[in-house]
Amino acid sequence: MEMKNYYALIMAGGIGSRFWPISRTAHPKQFIDILGVGKTLIQQTYERFLKIVPEENIFILTNESYIQLVKEQIPSLKDHQILAEPIMRNTAPCIAYGSHKILQINPEASIVVAPSDHLILDVEEFNRSIKKSLVAASNNDCLISLGIKPSRPDTGYGYIQYNTKKIADDFFKVKTFTEKPNYELATTFVQSGDFLWNAGIFVWSVKSIIKAFKKYLPEINDIFKEGDTLYNSSQEQEFVHSAFSQCTNISIDYGIMEKADNVYVLPSEFGWSDLGTWASVYELSEKDYVGNAVIPSEMVIMYDSSNCMVNVPKGKLVIMQGLHHFIVVEENNTLLICPRNQEQEIKQIVGDVKQRFGSEFI
């Protein structure tokens, strides 16, 4: 199996409201250097895939309103490599779109589908897992999910249960998918040893995924099949507009992965985080000796303050006294100060702000 048959679909359409006000509708999390490392999350994701698939085989699925941001952050992309959704319809329709488009370019393609806003610490191990999965997907009619060995009973992730039946030595048959469980259930899962976190990274051949769409989401498949003669032409965008307006809002997990009988999981460990919360960003950030993570740190002065997560604009002088375990973030003419253990309230706050002050702050 040659590398030229390997493709990557990077999903970059989300709005990341948990990171408001740093992440806003007009400039969401995937386009931000949220860990202060010098590269945004989508740039890091793109560079990881350059080591696995040819540059011309990387496609970005995003929202129409983010086309310009994608071009600015990844200038080497050609226009036809940016697949723009006119409206948000969850992951199944956009994956159907990407799959039908790639089918027209190369019916022998194997595709890795991955989010644009996750962190991978061990890039070499990640590359090994993806390449191994692409080989297995090329040789078998299977849908592969990457599962992360859980390090704690986290209630923010979906879980994959697998059994002992295997293909290609390392890929285990999936028994069940469970959406975010409560703490007791998550603890049971982790203790049992046959559950993995669902990383939302999938690998399959284009033939296998389209076969699965035909079987489990035939309406969505029919909608995008109609465009088979229009993809990669000047009429693609116009077709996609009418296609998305006909689609139901459904995730690939619920629509296909939970129903299909040829789903396999590769247990993986490559230092993965979905950076879904400020807590996860805090955990992964560099901290000073009293546990403060400050980005950028030049002009922030702390007195008797510890275990805080601070993210403020460059050149902003910030003085904090007597704050422990707080999140302090400022962006877009908005300042948020919130105890770290109450960060799940941020989604609710965003709704209230929108109602009271309109969407210019969102």
Q: Considering the chain, what is the average pLDDT of its residues?
A: 93
| Per-residue pLDDT at 332 | 85
Helices (H), the chain: 41-50, 67-73, 91-105, 123-139, 183-192, 206-216, 218-225, 236-245, 252, 278-284, 346-357
Rounded Cα gap, residues 307 and 330, in angstroms: 18
Measured in residues, the chain has a length of 362
pLDDT of residue 278: 86
Average pLDDT estimate for 187-215: 95
Between the CA of residue 130 and those of 60, 190, 197, 265, 269, what are the distances in Å? 18, 24, 16, 12, 12
Q: What's the mean pLDDT in 244-257? A: 94
Q: Tell which residue, 153, 217, 214, 210, has the closest CA to residue 186.
A: 153
Question: Poorest-confidence range of 243-247, 320-324, 347-351?
Answer: 347-351
136 against 179, higher pLDDT: 136
Every domain range in the chain assigned CATH 3.90.550.10: 3-273
Q: How far is 206 from 107, CA to CA, in rounded Å?
A: 7
Secondary structure class of 284 (helix, strand, coil): helix
Look up residue 174 and give its two tokens: 């999936």
Which pLDDT value is given to residue 156? 83
Q: What is the pLDDT of residues 53-72, one digit of tens each?
A: 999 999 999 999 999 999 99
Q: Residue range 45-60: average pLDDT? A: 97
Tokens describing residue 333? 């003419």
The pLDDT-based confidence of 359 (bands split at 50, 70, 90) is confident
Whether 135 shows a pLDDT value over 80: the answer reads yes
Average pLDDT in the 163-191 region? 89
Mean of pLDDT values over 297-308: 93
Q: Is the pLDDT of residue 213 over 80?
A: yes
Order of strands, sheet of 309-311, starting from the edge strand that comes earlier in the sequence: 293-295, 309-311, 326-331, 334-339
pLDDT band at 169 (very low <50, low <70, confident <90, very high): confident
Q: What is the pLDDT of residue 16?
A: 78
Q: Is the pLDDT of residue 1 over 60?
A: no
Mean per-residue pLDDT, 226-230: 96
Mean pLDDT, rounded, for 82-90: 93
Q: Which amino acid is at 330?
A: E
Q: CA-CA distances (angstroms) from residue 294 to 42, 66, 169, 325?
A: 22, 28, 44, 13
CA separation for the pair 83, 105 (Å, rounded): 14
Q: DSSP label at 274?
A: -
pLDDT of residue 61: 97
pLDDT for residue 80 is more than 60: yes
Task: Give one DSSP letter per residue of 180-198, joined into a string.
Answer: S--HHHHHHHHHHS-EEEE
For residues 352 and 121, what is the distance between their CA atoms, to the nearest angstrom?
A: 36
pLDDT at 154: 86
Of residues 308, 332, 330, 335, the one with CA closest to residue 320: 308
pTM: 0.93
> What confidence tier does 36 reach under pLDDT thresholds 50, 70, 90?
confident
Q: Is 325 exposed, middle or buried (0-12, 13-18, 19+ CB in 10 A)?
A: middle
Q: What percent of the chain has pLDDT over 90?
A: 76
pLDDT value at position 151? 87
On whether the 3-273 domain is CATH 3.90.550.10, my answer is yes
Tell me the CA distances in angstroms from 241 to 84, 136, 179, 250, 265, one per residue in order: 9, 34, 31, 17, 34
Give the residues across from 211 on adjacent strands: none
Lowest mean pLDDT among 64-78, 193-207, 210-224, 287-301: 287-301
| Mean pLDDT (whole number) for 114-124 | 95
